[in-house]
Amino acid sequence: MVHVRIVSILVLGLALAGMAAAAPTGPRLQTTDRSPVVVRGTNFRPAERVTVVLDAEGRWHRTATADASGRFTVQFPVSVPMCDDFRLQAFGSKGSRAMTLPQRRTTCSNPTM
């Protein structure tokens, strides 16, 4: 009887761990183009209104509504050169939040060297 309980607990634990691993991650932002800047959001709540903020030589705002699968795309009227830093933040009306660290192309060379 004790062995049956232990096996049941182990099976349940493995099933829950598998479900957690298969669950989507939290909201994410991805830059798909830099000229002009295009951003894709994923894993937001369905039909959530999302404000995306781009910090790059100024501050730019765009708003989109996530589709039924939690995705959206926004385009900013600005281009960011490959070697320039920028940061993205997104704030959803249903509580979703996402941000990126300053993004910079690592292959840029330093012209002063």
DSSP letters along 19-83, please? HHHHS--S-EEEEEEETTEEEEEESPPTT-EEEEEEESSSEEEEEEE--TTS-EEEE-S----TT
For 2-61, what is each residue's pLDDT tens digit?
555 654 565 556 555 555 555 558 999 999 999 999 999 999 999 999 999 999 889 999
Give the global pTM: 0.71
